[in-house]
Structure 1
Amino acid sequence: MKLTKYTHACVRLEKDGNVLVIDPGIYSESKEALEGAQAVLVTHEHPDHIDQAVLLEALTMNERLVVHAPEGVARTLTKAAAEASVDSVEERIRAVDPGSAVDIAGFDVKTFGGQHALIHGQIPVVANIGYLIDGNVFHPGDSFVVPDGIQVKTLLVPIHAPWSKVGEVVDFVISVRAPQAYPVHDGLLNEVGRGLVEGHVTRFGARYGTTYSSLAPRQAVEI
């Protein structure tokens, strides 16, 4: 399986001619990531994880594209798509719940979690779903939920966010103990901040069997 990282939280997965995109948001090269995709997974409603305008355009241009998202996100997107006269809206925008397993565009997808990490007591907590793809790649969205009963092989680590601190990032990597890890949610970091966080994740992750590797936007790896 080929994994291509885009800026911030978006990744594109390709396998056997199938393409799955996770979290095409406003900070990412979402239009590029969505080219030829059969499916999109959205972890939650924040715009850095879903660029509604770009996604609606992709739904219009690509009649094969199906979007899976938490219920509230799916409902909002369905309404916007209907207003934009996108064909087959209800069939191509589907709600997903945590704790489920489903085949999506030839990928085995399991869902975990349920809510976004706390940003501040006065900011409402929204639904958030983490996705495990083919028992291999885990994208937690904006949370540090650890998949239960499964050994993750490739962990996508939110290395910087308004809702986290470095120690929590390190503890997340240690808790999951995936053999390999790559960054997501890094669009607000400059190079100095990236070096600091990635240094800690690399050093402490290695003690617990995780090899952390940085990825630049549009860089791809085989996993």
Structure 2
Amino acid sequence: MRLVKFTHACVRLENGDRRVLVDPGAWAEDEAFDGVTDILVTHEHDDHVDLGRIAGLVGSRPLRLHGPASVRALADEAGIGEAVTVVAAGDVFDVAGFAVTAVGGRHAEIYDGLPGCPNLGYVIDGVYHPGDSYFVPDVEVHTLLVPAAAPWGRHREAIEMTRSIAPARAFPIHDRALTTDVGYGNFDAWMEAKGNTAYSRVPLGESVTL
């Protein structure tokens, strides 16, 4: 299986001719959608799902989205609600031949309970994309995609989540907002020193074999 890193929280998993895309938001490159028929969406924020762009693609080829009910509601407004399968925490399902478990349920808090929206993490054949949360799932994870920078983010919580999950390896995501090259180095140094896992950064558009 290969993991391809795109801008911010967007990644694509590939195994042979099977591909699943996770969180293609407003900053994701167009090529992220190449060969993709199935998309997992953690929550409705536009840095995680660009429904306008997806609506333009749905008319030209089959695309199936999976996400919380709040994503379905916005997809209805975009005219593509029928393309969305609503999933909830605890659901186990198959997407493009990948085994997926939906976990978590709520977005990490910024302040005063906000933003207070649903957020699902996905464990995809052992690869965990938590969306906007530090939720620790009770299923086996060999590869963690750890959020690196966000209004709700803290180095401490990223490290504690990584240690609690104890994956074989971890790669940063959610690294477009609020982050400079100096910030990348700071976060990476802490994760390398204290994450207790094999941690590295995947350059944009490049891939790693898992």
TM-score (ref. length: structure 1): 0.90
Structure 1 residues 10-50: Cα deviation after superposition (integer angstroms, max 9, x where no partner) = 00111131110000001221x21112201000000111001
| Structure 1 match to 2:162 | 173
Residue of structure 2 equivalent to 1:196: 186
Aligned residue identity for 2:132: D
Structure-2 separation of matches of 1:123 and 1:103: 32
In structure 1, the residue corresponding to 2:170 is in which secondary structure? strand
Determine the structure 2 residue equivalent to 1:74. Answer: 72
Residue in structure 2 matched with residue 106 of structure 1 by the alignment = 97
Contact 1:42 / 1:50 at 8 angstroms: preserved in 2?
Answer: yes
Which residue in the other structure is 2:40 paired with?
41
Q: Which deviations, in whole Å up to 9, do the C-alpha atoms of 1:89-123 show, x marking residues without a partner? A: 52x21111010100111110001000100011163
| TM value normalised by structure 2 | 0.96
Find the partner of 2:201 among 195, 209, 214: 214
1:86 matched to which residue of 2? none
**SS of residue paired to 2:59:** helix
Matches within 5 A, 1:87-98: 90=82, 92-98=83-89
Separation in structure 1 between the aligned mates of residue 98 and residue 166 of structure 2, nearest angstrom: 23
Q: Which amino acid aligns with 1:14?
A: E
The SS at the match of 2:195 is helix
Q: Distance in 1 between matches of 2:192 and 2:73?
A: 39
Structure 2 equivalent of residue 85 of structure 1 = none
Match of 2:132 among 139, 142, 148: 142
Query: Within 1, Cα distance between the matches of 2:207 and 2:19?
Result: 14
1:15 paired with 2:26, answer no
SS at match of 1:81: coil
Match of residue 195 from structure 2: 205
What RMSD in Å do the two structures reach over aligned CA positions?
1.2
In structure 1, stretches of 5+ residues that fail to align are: 83-88
Using the alignment, how far apart are the partners of 1:195 and 1:133 within structure 2? 28
Query: Which residue identity is paired with 1:9?
Result: A
Deviating above 4 A after TM superposition, structure 1's stretches of 4 or more consecutive aligned residues are: none
Q: Count residues in correspondence.
A: 209
Cα offset for 1:75? 2.1
Identical amino acids, percent of aligned pairs: 40
Task: Give the 3-state SS of the residue equivalent to 2:78 in structure 1.
Answer: helix
User: What 5-or-longer segments of structure 2 have no aligned partner?
Assistant: none
Please give the per-residue CA displacement for 1:124-176, whole angstroms capped at 9, x wherever unaligned. 31000000001x1000000001111x221000000111001111111111111
Determine helix, strand or coil for the equivalent of 1:113: strand
The C-alpha deviation readout for 1:178-197, integer Å capped at 9, x for no partner, is 01001100002111011011
